[in-house]
Amino acid sequence: MRTTDTPPALREDSSRPPNPLFRNLTAKLASLPMVLTALVVFVGCTGWTIVHSFTGSKLLPKLKWVGFDQYEKLWNTRRWLVSIENLALYGIFSLCFTLVIGFTLAALLDRKIRFEAAFRTIFLYPFALSFIVTGLVWQWILNPDLGIQSVVRSMGFTSFEFDPLYNASIVIYGLLIAGLWQGTGFVMVIMLAGLRGIDEDVWKAARVDGIPVWKTYVRVIIPMMRPVFITALVVITSGIIKVYDLVVAMTAGGPGIASEVPAKYVYDRMFSSQNLGQGFAASTMMLLAVVVVLIPWAYLEFGGKKHD
């Protein structure tokens, strides 16, 4: 989207109207590859996928129409329904906690504490690890025979029980812990950058007026950081929807199907079950979910500006 927008500076330049097609030709030429990529790869392949989700394609894509059969089957599959529920739970908790913890950590670091650089590195470090490594490490930490449970038990609390990865009703929170551990550091850094961008004078003014620090944060600083929050939101949300590798590394969807997620369903159906049609139907549903969230947001965000 960004690539096709004309820079705002040009809009004011309306004194002599040349052919708008040739205006800023170099920039348009330069963005042509990206425009083509976007059209062919994103739009084209998305369309192809949607079309094939209405076919009975197995291992190879074939145009053998089956109508809405794949979707009917999809919504009658327990595993898909469990996946959706898991994604919703993981998404809501992950979004809230990442933002709250990320901002709190950033605000604390911003209070000019000692060893700030050391803390910042510690908090950011997990982000340098892939989800596969994160998942494996946390699989060990949460394993009742190796990790936290066995350590606490060896200290004498023999009835202590903590095995989220082997308990179907709480396994999603086990994933959440690992996800938060990995992701909050990055959000903290984004927030910290935002806080550093706040003019020192704002703080001085607040102090002169005698506004308490927490109130300054909530009423002044956070509203000023709106673009930073939007960025963080986009980063976190896209991470949530595509969550796949963490699950594969930590639980492989288990116990049973208790920690399955939609992306894993798509992959397994397409490649393991050799049922492309079903995988395409599931991925089309994922796209639809994203679009449903994105369109109202994009309308509010970009649509309003024209009426300024």
Positions 273 through 292 that interact with another protein (CB under 8 A): 273-275, 278
Q: Which stretch binds another protein (CB under 8 A): 47-55, 124-132, 202-210, 250-258?
A: 250-258
Q: Shortest distance, CB of residue 257 to another protein, whole angstroms? A: 5
- Of the residues 68, 271, 299, 302, which one makes contact with another protein according to CB under 8 A: 271
* Contact set for another protein, span 52-111 (CB under 8 A): 58-60, 77-79
- CA distances (Å), origin 298, targets 123, 162, 182, 222, 230: 32, 43, 28, 21, 12
User: For another protein, which residue of 101, 163, 217, 220 counts as binding (CB under 8 A)?
Assistant: 163
d(CA 243, CA 131): 9
Site for another protein in 121-160 (CB under 8 A): 139, 143-145
Of 256, 297, 298, 303, the one binding another protein (CB under 8 A) is: 256
Angle, CA 101 vertex, CA 99 and CA 104 arms, to 5°: 100
Place of tokens 């970009």: 302
Our CB check for another protein shows the closer of 79 and 120 to be: 79
Shortest spacing between CB 145 and another protein, in angstroms: 6
3-class DSSP state for residue 88?
Answer: helix
Write out the binding residues for another protein, residues 8-27 only, by CB under 8 A: none
In angstroms, the Cα distances linking 186 to 112, 181, 191, 229, 239 are: 19, 10, 9, 13, 12
CB of 242 to another protein, least distance (A): 18
CA distance 142 to 150: 10
**Min CB(258)–another protein separation in Å:** 7
User: Which of 191, 243, 258, 261 is the binder for another protein (CB under 8 A)?
Assistant: 258
Query: With binding defined as CB under 8 A, does residue 253 bind another protein?
Result: yes
* CA gap 261, 86 in Å, rounded: 6
The Cα–Cα gap between 269 and 79 comes to: 11
How many contiguous H segments (helices) and E segments (strands) does the chain have?
16, 0
* Chain residues that interact with another protein, rule: CB under 8 A: 58-60, 77-79, 139, 143-145, 163, 166, 168, 251-258, 268-269, 271-275, 278
